[in-house]
Amino acid sequence: MTTAYSTMLTPSRFDQLMATPDAVYVKPVKARDVTGVPELDNMPGDTVLFAVHLDNGDCVALVDSREAAFAGALHYDKVPFSVH
C-alpha cells in the first residue's frame, strides 16, 4: 500500500544527497543581512536576494531570484538545494 509519506526522503537518503560533492545550497536572504558587498549599500534592506553556498558555508554567488540561483548552479554542473 502506498501512502503520501512514501515520496518523502528518508533520513539516510537526505544525508546521501547532502553529501553530494557538487551540491550547493540556495538560501533567501535580506539585503540588510549581507555584509561586505558595497553594491548593496543603496538597495532597500528588505529586498530579498538569493545566496548560493558551498557545503563549507562559503557564499559563491548572490543573485536576485531563486531561478537565477538554480540556473547558475546548473550551468556550473552543481546540484542546487533550497535551504530556508
Say what the pTM is: 0.74
Stretch among 18-22, 50-54, 56-60 having the lowest mean pLDDT: 18-22
State yes or no: pLDDT of 1 exceeds 50: no
CB 63 within 8 A of CB 49: yes
Q: Which of 51, 54, 66 is nearest to 20 (CA)?
A: 54
Single-letter residue type at 45: G
pLDDT of 9 reads 56
Place of cell 558587498: 37
More confident residue, 80 or 1: 80
38 φ, ψ (degrees, to nearest 5):
-55, -30
State yes or no: pLDDT of 40 exceeds 80: yes
Q: Which parts of 1-84 fold into alpha helices (H)?
A: 11-18, 66-75
The SS3 call for residue 40 is: helix
φ/ψ region of 21 (left if φ > 0, alpha if ψ in -120 to 50, else beta) reads alpha
